Structure 1
Amino acid sequence: MADADGDAQPLVEPVPGAPAATADLGGETGLLIADYHAGIEAGLRYERGVELDSAADERRERLLSLLARTGADRLVVLGDLGHRIGSTGDAERAELAALLDAVGVPVTLALGNHDPGVAEAFGDRLRVTDAAGARLGDVGIVHGHTWPAPDVLAADVVCTGHEHPRVKLSDEVGGGRAEKAWLRGPLAYGPFADRNADLPDWGEEPPELVVFPAFNDRSGGTWVNVEGQFLAPYLPDGLASGEAYLLDGTRLGDYRRV
């Protein structure tokens, strides 16, 4: 895709100030998010005894606002649309039903580790890929808890969730804060070739990897500038020279040295 001046536009472009991106999916525009975690409040109550009021309405309205703002033709969720692993509880099912009633565009879900029950409950209302992901035009999508399929790795850009990347930032007086972050950079060939001997050589233009921040504000995250925190089997080795960006677009540089 090119702009009016003929310059190439990124296939995947973050929406300023939001944990979401638009993507050219080949004939349609997608709004991509990761880690929605519907019903998380009920899950936290069951798993940890934490009592929180539901933010289901706020999550849905925030997503609907982004769909309207971007004019996307399709919603793509990079895994963990739901929260309860293996089954959908009543709160999660109700939240997902209300969301799918409201979105107004086709929905594609890259199956996440929290999503098996979602496929069984709502498979007639959205397309669900297998855990190794799928390719939509020149964009590969995968959740990130398993290795991507070779076809996904043949895309120009590979989008993944699962990590919920965050950075710890310090100020001059010793204070600190946590911020959601994007990770972007070229995929390193070695770890994927070691896993799949038939993987074609990428040459001098490897696919770009985009690791999405979590859409859900209550789902925790991976501290990308703290050693040993990663969850995906191909990180950090598969992103040897990636950079971190805040939601407002601030470039932080090498994600491991922020």
Structure 2
Amino acid sequence: MSDESRRSTVARVEPVPDEPVAIATVGDERALLVADYHAGYEAGLRSERGVTVPSRATERRERLLTLLERTDPDRLVALGDLMHSIGDPGGAERGELEVLLESVPRTIPVTVVKGNHDGAIETWLTEDEAEIETSVTVVPGAGIDLGAGTVGVCHGHTWPTPATLECDVLCLGHEHPCVRLEDDVGGSRVERTWLRGELDPKPFRPRPEYEGLSWLSDGAIDPPRVVVLPAFNDLVGGTWINVPGQSFLSPFLPAGIASGEAYLLDGTRLGPYQSV
């Protein structure tokens, strides 16, 4: 594939300016991608750590609904960790998700890529399907091809399916990438970031399930691009990708990303993530 063709492919996934979401274009369909919503996070802080934080459920929901109205997608795709509790959701968390899904316009189907925090989400969504008018489909966290081998999506907590790795672009969450920025007087702040690059074949080659993938052979060119989305929930923290000694969460990162670059939500290119 030529450089021009590769640039065209990359343009299929376009971050929404100043927001931790992206639009993926697959044929005639546009999907809004959102990762790591973590509904019920505040309830989790109370039960897990004894920390009381006012709920931002309404703010999260209104923000997502505004983005749906602003971008007018054909589909909403949640790249895992739609909810926060690893087991069955509690009252506040389940209530937040039910209200959220009931609020999504019924003309926009929802695909949930199951994350490590999503427990048995497919079970109770099925139980509540009479109350949730929007069409909701739950798929495994290892991912799916959104269509025609263009954009693959997974959560990132496990190895992706071969089909997702055959796509031109792989999008995932789970990592919550952030950078720590320091100023001249010693102050610092942490910003959510996008992490983008190409898949590096080295960690994938030893795994038998990937045998036969063309881009894993010696001398192959144009491996798939990879896009790691920032967390939608701005309370959850994440991996400080530019701080030495930080462990990545995904089993194929950071080894699986070559020429990785970081971008702020406003589109500012920070350059190679390790040297930011």
TM-score between both structures, scaled by the size of structure 2 = 0.88
Tell me which residue corresponds to 1:216: 233
Query: Across the two proteins, how many residue pairs are aligned to each other?
Result: 252
Aligned equivalents of 1:192, 1:27: Cα separation in 2: 31
CA contact (8 A) 1:79 1:142 kept: yes
Name the SS of the counterpart of 2:87 in structure 1.
Answer: coil
What residue number does 2:156 align with? Answer: 144
Q: Of residues 102, 123, 132 in structure 2, which corresponds to 1:120?
A: 123
- Whether the 8 Å contact between 1:150 and 1:199 is mirrored in structure 2 is no
Deviation at 1:224, TM superposition (A): 0.5
Partner of 1:69: 70
Matched residue, 1:46 = 47
Distance 1:26 1:99 in 2: 28
Q: CA deviation at 1:200?
A: 1.2
Amino acid corresponding to residue 59 of structure 1 in structure 2: R
Letter in 1 for 2:226: L
Cα distance in structure 1, aligned partners of 2:120 and 2:60: 20
Contact conserved, 1:192 with 1:199, CA < 8 A, in 2? Answer: no
Runs of 4+ in 1 over 6 A off after TM superposition: none
Asked if the contact 2:179–2:191 (Cα under 8 Å) also holds between the matched residues in 1, the reply is yes
- Which residue is equivalent to 1:228? 246
Identity in percent = 57
Matched, 1:248 2:258: no
CA contact (8 A) 1:141 1:158 kept: yes
Gaps of 5+ in 2: 1-6, 130-134
Q: Which amino acid aligns with 2:140?
A: D
Q: Is 1:153 aligned to 2:154, yes or no?
A: no
Please point out which of 187, 200, 216 is paired with 2:213.
200
Tell me how far 1:126 sits from its aligned partner.
1.3
- Give the aligned residue type for 1:198: E
Instruction: Give SS of 2:101's match.
Output: helix
Letter in 2 for 1:136: L
The 2-side partners of 1:56 and 1:135 are apart by 30
Shift of 1:220: 1.2
CA-CA distance at 1:229 after TM superposition: 2.2
Alpha-carbon deviation of 1:204? 1.0
Please state if 1:107 is matched with 2:110. Answer: yes
> Partners in 1 of 2:273 and 2:136 — Cα distance?
34
CA distance in 2, matches of 1:156, 1:107: 22
Q: Give, as a single letter, the amino acid of the residue that structure 1 aligns with 2:161.
A: A
Q: Where does residue 30 of structure 1 map in the other structure?
A: 31
Partner of 1:4: none
Match of 1:3 in 2: none
What residue is the counterpart of 2:57 in the other structure?
56
Distance in 2 of aligned mates of 1:257 and 1:199: 34
Contact 1:26 1:136 in 2 (8 A): no
Q: Deviations over 1:101-125 (max 9, x none)?
A: 1111110011100012322111445
Match of 2:191 in 1: 179
Query: Given the alignment of the two structures, is residue 96 of structure 1 paired with residue 97 of structure 2, yes or no?
Result: yes
Report the counterpart of residue 167 of structure 1 in structure 2: 179
When normalised by structure 1's length, the TM-score is: 0.94
| Superposed CA RMSD | 1.3
